[in-house]
């Protein structure tokens, strides 16, 4: 007879197997599993194995009977469930077989249906309509099918009952399939809600493009738990979602509102090239490529071209992609972004900031007075309030003081720009000094504490691009610094959304600036000509569309505000 071992402390019923090296934990389990066998038991590994006492055997036998009963019950339950499943399957197969015999035909005696987009349905209530779109949501309630249809213009609740819910197509319908639904549009009964306040009672319908079910079903490819890299790979499917599509819709409305604001200020829209042979914001962030054997770049900014438009068209603006080869993985940097830029002639620095403030506020106002765009903002950013004017203006020098007063420090750097660490390897933090570039973290902390839009202006020339007009040094400030008529507009939660400046209007001064920056002036002949043939005081700015949208729609990152965002390592889809 084989012997089985039980260790009441160190043993385990499962996955134990009753051998000396892997003993069971309970006597009852050993009896339940092996019946009448030789058993040896011990209290713990420090006690020797011994035969069980009569009384403990008796107790254990009772326990084993209980276990046997439990097993039987579980077996019966499993059998019942298997039977039920099989019956369900059979029932469904029968139903599917039956359903194949049902062929829907449109009832010719019904009034003719009007084909319409969901957004245009309200005037068609109580009429027969035909809509096409994607199955956004699907629910079966006791043989009645509820479809939420999405056609890109809106959502429509559709109800299928009776024969239209019994066809093979109805029984096998999956979300994201395309369908055409025809029926009568009815106001929803009192106390019920549906998008648009109406629903479609379907009398005829068909599937136009079935989406897969089972393993390849939409919800298996993408759901709330998908990790960020999957979401990035499947951006083409993500944009079908309610939030992502609302952000894109608001983006379209925002650009349209900007165009209206510019029209009201008599700025003309132009479309400058993306392929260029001059830099604007420094060589470090240029994407270079081969252009018929010549070096060329993807544009960083259309500013220089806009400047050339002033004598031709007056004040101008553009909505153009800009490209930055920055190895920044922050939530506000993209490698390609939509750049809204404007240029204005015969203005001064104060006019420039007043104009930027006016364009942004008027655009936000336009979005808020329009009921449908206001609803998009409310959906994404319920607590959004239009900023009040005028925006706070804080000079760069005062900002440095402000940061130090608020104990917002920055890591100390050596001459090569490397962080200096203390004995424990921690970065040594030091106060800001005039001449320091205010880092993103410090800038964001400051904006968030202030809590309103802030114009930061008058940056030192060495921190800014070659084309910026110099400003007289503020009184009492160390004269070793030359400041510029430049401004960044900072928004709470996002940081810098606009960078602008007055431009050097004097030809000689511009040539000196090329030299200082080590820029070969020859490819810039057209830009220099601007100062030669009738110069004027002028200035402009660039606004990051995705950043403004992130602020307006309360998005965590600008990546959510671009149709197909690009960042280091990502250019797909």
Q: Tell me: does residue 456 bind ligand 4AD (CB under 6 A).
A: no
E strand or H helix that includes residue 131 = strand 128-141
Closer CB to ligand 4AD, 151 or 448, in the complex: 448
Kindly indicate which of the ranges 363-371, 454-462, 537-545, 549-557 contains the residues binding ligand 4AD, using the contact rule CB under 6 A.
537-545
Q: Tell me: does residue 527 bind ligand 4AD (CB under 6 A).
A: no
Kindly indicate which of the ranges 51-59, 81-89, 330-338, 401-409 contains the residues binding ligand 4AD, using the contact rule CB under 6 A.
330-338
Q: Tell me: does residue 272 bind ligand 4AD (CB under 6 A).
A: no
Kindly indicate which of the ranges 1-9, 94-102, 241-249, 295-303 contains the residues binding ligand 4AD, using the contact rule CB under 6 A.
295-303
Kindly indicate which of the ranges 1-9, 326-334, 440-448, 476-484 contains the residues binding ligand 4AD, using the contact rule CB under 6 A.
326-334
CB 342 within 8 A of CB 332: no
Q: Can you list the alpha helix ranges (DSSP code H) found in 314-370?
A: 349-369
- C-alpha triplet 537, 510, 456: angle, nearest 5°: 60
Minimum Å distance from CB 239 to ligand 4AD?
Answer: 19
**Residue selected from 136, 339, 366, 538 as contacting ligand 4AD according to rule CB under 6 A:** 339
**Residue selected from 257, 542, 549, 559 as contacting ligand 4AD according to rule CB under 6 A:** 542
Q: Tell me: does residue 251 bind ligand 4AD (CB under 6 A).
A: no
**Residue selected from 131, 334, 438, 491 as contacting ligand 4AD according to rule CB under 6 A:** 334
Closer CB to ligand 4AD, 184 or 301, in the complex: 301
Minimum Å distance from CB 166 to ligand 4AD?
Answer: 53
CB 277 within 8 A of CB 297: yes
**Strands 336-345 and 294-298, bridge-based pairing:** unpaired
CA 404 to chain centroid:
34
How far is the C-alpha of 349 from the C-alpha of 98, rounded, in Å? 78
- Which residues have a Cβ under 8 Å from the Cβ of 138 and sit 6 or more positions away? 145, 146, 147, 148, 173, 174, 175
Kindly indicate which of the ranges 7-15, 163-171, 414-422, 535-543 contains the residues binding ligand 4AD, using the contact rule CB under 6 A.
535-543
Q: Tell me: does residue 301 bind ligand 4AD (CB under 6 A).
A: yes
How far is the C-alpha of 52 from the C-alpha of 6, rounded, in Å? 10
Q: Tell me: does residue 499 bind ligand 4AD (CB under 6 A).
A: yes
User: How many other β-carbons are positioned within 10 Å of the β-carbon of residue 483?
Assistant: 23
Instruction: Count CA atoms closer than 13 A to 557's CA, side-chain side.
Output: 14
SS3 at position 556: coil
How far is the C-alpha of 164 from the C-alpha of 175, rounded, in Å? 17
**Residue selected from 269, 326, 348, 431 as contacting ligand 4AD according to rule CB under 6 A:** 326
Q: Tell me: does residue 176 bind ligand 4AD (CB under 6 A).
A: no
E strands in 229-367: 268-269, 275-276, 287-291, 294-298, 316-323, 336-345
Closer CB to ligand 4AD, 157 or 299, in the complex: 299
Q: Extract the tokens encoding 423.
A: 């004995």
**Residue selected from 281, 357, 443, 560 as contacting ligand 4AD according to rule CB under 6 A:** 281
CB 100 within 8 A of CB 84: no
Classify residue 256 as left (phi > 0), alpha (psi -120 to 50) or beta: alpha
Q: Extract the tokens encoding 268.
A: 């003309």
How far is the C-alpha of 364 from the C-alpha of 298, rounded, in Å? 31
Minimum Å distance from CB 78 to ligand 4AD?
Answer: 58
**Residue selected from 16, 345, 460, 540 as contacting ligand 4AD according to rule CB under 6 A:** 540
Instruction: Count CA atoms closer than 13 A to 486's CA, side-chain side.
Output: 21
CB 196 within 8 A of CB 122: yes
Minimum Å distance from CB 496 to ligand 4AD?
Answer: 5
Minimum Å distance from CB 252 to ligand 4AD?
Answer: 18
Q: Tell me: does residue 270 bind ligand 4AD (CB under 6 A).
A: no
Give me the torsion for CA of 412, 413, 414, 416, rounded to 10°.
180
**Residue selected from 203, 315, 443, 496 as contacting ligand 4AD according to rule CB under 6 A:** 496
Minimum Å distance from CB 494 to ligand 4AD?
Answer: 9
**Interacting positions 103-122 with ligand 4AD (CB under 6 A):** none
Closer CB to ligand 4AD, 198 or 538, in the complex: 538
**Residues lying near ligand 4AD in the complex (CB under 6 A):** 280-281, 300-301, 303, 324, 326, 333-334, 337, 339, 341, 496-500, 540-544, 546-547, 558
């Amino acid at each position: 007879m084989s012997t089985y071992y039980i260790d009441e402390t160190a043993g385990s019923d499962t996955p134990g197997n009753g051998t000396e090296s892997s003993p069971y934990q309970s006597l009852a389990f050993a009896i339940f599993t092996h019946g009448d066998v030789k058993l040896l038991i011990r209290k713990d590994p420090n006690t020797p194995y011994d035969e069980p006492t009569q009384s403990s055997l008796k107790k254990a036998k009772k326990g084993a009977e209980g276990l046997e009963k439990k097993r039987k019950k579980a077996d019966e339950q499993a059998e019942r469930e298997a039977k039920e499943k099989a019956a369900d399957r059979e029932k469904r197969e029968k139903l599917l077989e039956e359903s194949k015999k049902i062929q829907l035909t449109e009832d010719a005696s019904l009034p003719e249906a009007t084909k319409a987009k969901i957004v245009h349905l309200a005037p068609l209530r109580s009429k027969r309509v035909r809509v096409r779109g994607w199955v956004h949501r699907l629910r079966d309630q006791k043989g009645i099918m509820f479809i939420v249809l999405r056609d890109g213009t809106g959502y429509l609740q559709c109800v299928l009952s009776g024969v239209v819910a019994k066809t093979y197509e109805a029984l096998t319908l999956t979300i994201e399939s395309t369908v055409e639904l025809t029926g009568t549009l009815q106001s929803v009964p009192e106390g019920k809600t549906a998008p648009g306040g109406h629903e479609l009672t379907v009398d005829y319908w068909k599937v136009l493009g079935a989406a897969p079910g089972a393993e390849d079903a939409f919800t298996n490819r993408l759901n709330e738990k998908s990790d960020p890299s999957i979401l990035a790979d499947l951006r083409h499917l993500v944009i079908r979602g309610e939030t992502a599509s609302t952000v894109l819709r608001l983006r379209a409305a925002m650009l349209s509102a900007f165009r209206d604001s510019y029209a009201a200020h008599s700025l003309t829209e132009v479309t400058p090239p993306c392929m260029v042979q001059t830099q604007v914001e420094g060589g470090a962030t240029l994407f270079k490529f081969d252009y018929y054997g010549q070096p060329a770049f993807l544009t960083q900014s259309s500013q220089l071209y806009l400047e050339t438009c002033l004598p031709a068209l007056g004040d101008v603006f553009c909505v153009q992609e800009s490209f930055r080869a920055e190895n920044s993985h922050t939530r506000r940097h993209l490698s390609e972004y939509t750049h809204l830029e404007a240029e204005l002639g015969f203005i001064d620095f104060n006019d420039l900031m007043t104009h930027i403030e006016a364009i942004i506020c008027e655009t936000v106002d336009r979005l808020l007075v329009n009921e449908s765009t206001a609803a998009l903002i409310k959906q994404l950013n319920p607590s959004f309030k239009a900023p009040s004017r005028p925006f706070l203006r804080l000079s760069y020098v005062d900002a440095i003081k402000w940061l130090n007063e608020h104990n917002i420090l920055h890591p100390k750097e050596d001459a090569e720009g490397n962080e200096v660490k203390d004995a424990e390897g921690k970065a040594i933090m030091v106060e800001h000094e005039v001449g320091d570039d205010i880092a993103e973290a410090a800038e964001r902390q400051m904006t968030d504490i202030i809590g309103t839009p802030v114009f930061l202006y008058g940056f030192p020339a060495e921190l800014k691009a070659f084309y910026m007009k110099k400003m007289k040094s503020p009184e009492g400030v160390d004269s070793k610094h030359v400041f510029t008529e430049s401004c960044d507009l900072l928004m709470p939660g996002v940081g810098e959304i606009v960078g602008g400046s007055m431009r050097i209007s004097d030809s000689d001064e511009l040539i000196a600036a090329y030299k200082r920056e080590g820029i070969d002036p020859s490819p810039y002949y057209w830009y220099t000509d601007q100062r030669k043939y009738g110069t004027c005081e002028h200035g402009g700015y660039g606004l990051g569309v995705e950043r403004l949208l992130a602020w307006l729609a309360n998005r965590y990152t600008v990546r959510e505000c671009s149709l197909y965002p690009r960042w280091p390592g990502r250019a797909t889809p």
